[in-house]
Amino acid sequence: MIDLHGSYAQVRCLACEKRLSRFTLHERLSAANPGFEERAHGVTGLEVAPDADAVVADTGDFVVVDCDRCGGMLKPDIVYFGEIVPRSRVDAAFELVDDADVLLVAGSSLTVQSGLRFVRRAVARGVPVAIVNRGPSRGDTHAAVKVDAGASEILSALAER
Ligand SMILES: [Zn+2]
């Protein structure tokens, strides 16, 4: 499996590209901010913002940790809107498409080019495309099979066969 847009399980340094697990970052942040977790858990109505950040009012003294190798800024290893998927990751996904018997798109409207390009690649290589998605997708005209339904239901049903 290729996490095309990355994963919150990993954090990377923006300067030297060192990667570490979120667990390791959590341990470092906890060590740098003794008592913070207890305070955060003690806040009633702790909410999570749409960007998955916790909304905690008392964060003025929070100590952010940097890369332990170079001091660079750390960031979730996620490709955010406006960023570019690393070329090596795209190439690895293209290789999977090239070797596939079929490309199954599940639960995506393919609104962004980063997903649609794999449909176009498959079509160009003669790999049939199947799409399972509620509502239309940008790949529908290329699909040999289109199922207008929820991906969870359809994939679960296929797995039971
Ligand atoms: Zn670094």
Above 90 in pLDDT, residue 27?
Answer: yes
* Per-residue model confidence (pLDDT) at position 35: 85
Instruction: Exactly one of 5, 26, 41, 142 is catalytic; name it.
Output: 5
The answer to whether 132 touches 151, Cβ cutoff 8 Å, is yes
> Does residue 24 share a domain with residue 73?
yes
> Does residue 71 share a domain with residue 34?
yes
* Per-residue model confidence (pLDDT) at position 89: 93
> Does residue 141 share a domain with residue 120?
yes
- The pTM for the full model equals 0.71
Domain that holds residue 16: 6-78
> Does residue 94 share a domain with residue 55?
no
Over residues 52-74, the pLDDT tens digits come to 666 666 677 889 999 999 999 99
Q: How far is the CA of 13 from the centre of ligand 1 (A)?
A: 5
Q: How far is the CA of 10 from the centre of ligand 1 (A)?
A: 14
Q: Which helix (H) or strand (E) holds 40?
A: helix 36-42
For the chain, how many structural domains are there in total?
A: 2
Over residues 87-107, the pLDDT tens digits come to 999 999 999 999 999 999 999
> Does residue 146 share a domain with residue 119?
yes
> Does residue 101 share a domain with residue 54?
no
Q: Is residue 1 part of a domain?
A: no
Q: How far is the CA of 22 from the centre of ligand 1 (A)?
A: 15
Active site residue 5: yes
Distance spanning both ends of the chain, measured CA to CA:
22
> Does residue 106 share a domain with residue 132?
yes
Q: How far is the CA of 73 from the centre of ligand 1 (A)?
A: 7
User: What's the rounded Cα separation, in Å, for the pair 58 and 64?
Assistant: 14
Question: In whole numbers, what is the pLDDT of the chain averaged over residues?
Answer: 90
